[in-house]
Structure 1
Amino acid sequence: MTDSKKLRRPRTDATAKRRRLVTATAQVLHEQGVERTTIADIARAADVPVGNVYYYFKTKDELVEAALAEHTKQLDALTARLDQLPDPRERLKGLIGAWIGQRDTTARYGCPTGTLAVELDKRAEGGLDLAVGQVIRHLLDWVRQQYRQLGLTDADDLALTFIGAYQGMSLLSSALRDPEIMTREGARLIRELDALAQD
């Protein structure tokens, strides 16, 4: 093995380990919530020794911040794919389709960002409540942009209603353990988008 390969491998291993920790954190926090999740839970899910976690993240709050960054990254990847569609209405329908595609997970655990927002809002310290709000605002801004591209003057209100509908159907689906709520409410949102096309 050459010296350059020796130098690259530890960095690559460290990057992969950190990536596993971030991915595991996002998943475990979604499934268990912040307060019930321990560093050991995250280490186990990432297949990383507990002591190694502290090399990458000094506190659980740093892991929560990394999970929020992961949510933003996943959202950016989804909206980038949707942005390839030429029509903003079809982009919004694609977003609904992605939500419906996650209906079983949502029925079990709720919306990953929404559940974090509710939980973090109840904490007295840390500022993570503001950070999770930024993830939601990021999606809200993208939805608002789609309505504006449709030429609608009330794009702000429509975007709030759209995201509110998603959070509502996620909450009800989870509370009632009924994934079909996502399907039915998603179909209703699509009908509303189609009706906008006829105005």
Structure 2
Amino acid sequence: MTDSETGAVRAAHGRARRGGKRERLVEAAVRVFHEQGVEKTTLADIARVADVPVGNVYYYFKTKDRLVEAAVQAHRDGLTALTGRLEALPGPADRLKALIGGWVEERERAARYGCPFGTLATELDKRDDGPDLAAGEVMRALIDWVEGQFGELGRPDARGLAVELVAAYQGMSVLTHTLRDPAIMTAQGERLTSWIDGIAHP
């Protein structure tokens, strides 16, 4: 998913940090899965970051897979919160450029760990036990929202443009992470912003 969405996830979870253990565990799962990947992460890792005794984890999540499902849902909730805030902007081009700006703001984190949701979705795609399908739905929801913005701009090819934009983000995120170079995200973000301006004002 998007780095800007992760900002929304972190904001929501910043509030959850003051809440209960379950919320702290989900917040920690989102963070640790991003930084370490699902396979390398143990329940003990998540418990430590959440500041929850490892024995208490099983009260809320019987297996790591249940935490994976909760992390995917947290990304979906973060996307919903993000797009809700973007909808307050005056027009679709402004919303799309704000989305891109959010990606660029998270460039340092992307350089270290990659796209928070894209890396998770890619890892889960190697499985066939359910979370991969849920991850696909989150990515589809992002594309659907972007399509709606291009549709408001009057573009008959809105779906194709939406896929192009999300694919461009995932590509620049991979390059930023692989080369450990945040400047790639900055430069590509500027190109995408200019692209949106060209579509909005042909």
Query: Normalising to structure 2: TM-score of the pair?
Result: 0.89
How many matched pairs?
Answer: 186
Q: Distance in 1 between matches of 2:83 and 2:200?
A: 21
Q: Give % identity.
A: 60
Alpha-carbon separation, structure 2, partners of 1:192 and 1:45: 40
- Pairing 1:99–2:103 present: yes
Give every structure 1 segment of 4 or more consecutive aligned residues whose post-TM-superposition deviation is greater than 3 Å: none
Provide the C-alpha distance between the structure 2 equivalents of 1:79 and 1:87, rounded to a whole number of angstroms: 13
List gaps (5 residues or longer) in structure 2: 1-15
Offset, 1:56: 0.3
> Which of the pair has the greater relative contact order for Cα pairs under 8 Å at 6+ separation?
2
How far did 1:197 drift? 2.1
Gaps of 5+ in 1: 1-11
Equivalent position of 2:199 in the other structure: 196
Matched, 1:63 2:75: no
Choose from 74, 83, 95 the match for 2:78: 74
State the distance in 2 between where 1:197 and 1:134 align. Answer: 28
CA–CA distance in structure 2, aligned partners of residues 112 and 52 of structure 1: 26
Structure 2 counterpart of 1:6? none
Report deviation, 1:73: 1.3
RMSD across aligned positions (CA): 1.4
Q: Distance in 2 between matches of 1:132 and 1:179?
A: 26
Take 1:171 and 1:28, find their aligned partners in 2: how far apart are those partners? 19
**1:177, CA displacement in angstroms?**
0.4
Alpha-carbon distance, 1:120 to partner = 1.0
Deviations 1:56-105 (A, max 9, x none): 00110100010011111111111111100010000000000110111011
Which string of whole-angstrom CA distances, capped at 9 and with x for unpartnered residues, describes residues 171-192 of structure 1? 0000000111111000000000
Name 1:133's counterpart in structure 2: 136
How far, CA to CA, are the matches of 1:79 and 1:24 in structure 2?
23
